[in-house]
Amino acid sequence: MFKMIFEDLLNFLFPYQCLRCGKILNKAGYLCDECVDEINFITAPYCHKCGHPLQEENVQDELLCGGCSKKKHSFYRFARSAVVYDNSSKNLILAFKFFDQTENSALLAAMLKIAGKDIFEAGADLLVPVPLHYTRLIKRRYNQSALLVQKLSKMTDIPYDNFSLIRKRRTKPQVEVSGKERATNVKNAFEVKYPQNVKGRRIILVDDIMTTGSTVKESALALKRAGAKSVDILTIARTI
């Protein structure tokens, strides 16, 4: 009895709110039904390798998209994202990234856990966030991807490492750079400070948004140079 009253009181003081539109929810959760309907979650069928959504209907387990079936080598093992980066998911992610809405990190980490199912099944040893340059970290006070990694680590029991991979030089934010320049903007921008921590490990590289893929590529290559056994890419959203 007392517990129920206590819970009612807590709900009254801290009502559940939809993190996307602010609507008060009548049950525990993070998003209202309307917002869940509007967000474009990436669901099967998708390419087994790069995670790109596919049109095919009768899909076997390991279907590849046209690009991946031609490519022999790639810098990653699997890439997965939870949602399409578009107007329906933008505010949820940008609020988390820039406006201290860190309470939605639990929701976003849960989305990563679902999106990364194939990766977790294949097996992984370490979660690593795409790092910020330290000057930007001071300005923003937290690295959104490092927060995600901490939460995801608790949910999956896979350890995380927020220190070994570093951004060794300042780069312009990718959103301020045109498509073509994005690759050169981040070229060789990353380095592994403690190679012994990643050597021989199967690593899941975590970031919030993937657009051209240049940032995750440079990060993954740095991990590979340091001896990582494999790198998987896991992001909240990607442009399609």
Residues of the shown chain interacting with Zn ion in the complex, contacts defined by CB under 5 A = 18, 20-21, 23, 32, 35, 47, 49-50, 52, 65, 68
Which of residues 189 and 233 has its CB atom nearest to Zn ion in the complex? 233
∠ CA 93-164-139 to the nearest 5 degrees?
45
Residue 65's identity, in one-letter code, is C
Q: Which helix (H) or strand (E) holds 65?
A: none
| Cα 227–chain centre separation | 22
Chain center to CA of 223: 17
Q: Between residues 31 and 189, which has the closer beta carbon with respect to Zn ion?
A: 31
d(CA 192, CA 205): 13
Q: Is 202 helix (H, G, I), strand (E, B) or coil?
A: strand
> Which phi and psi angles does 132 have, rounded to 5°?
-95, 160
For residue 146, give the DSSP letter.
H
* CB 26, min distance to Zn ion, A: 13
Residue closer to Zn ion by CB (options 47, 223) is 47
User: Which of 32/231 has CB closer to Zn ion?
Assistant: 32
**Strand 126-129, strand 165-167: pairing:** unpaired
Q: Helix (H, G, I), strand (E, B), or coil: what is residue 124?
A: coil
* Min CB(22)–Zn ion separation in Å: 7
Least distance in Å: CB of 177 to Zn ion? 25
Shortest Å distance, C-beta 17 to Zn ion? 9
- The least CB distance from residue 90 to Zn ion, in Å, is 14
Minimum CB distance to Zn ion smaller for 32 or for 152:
32
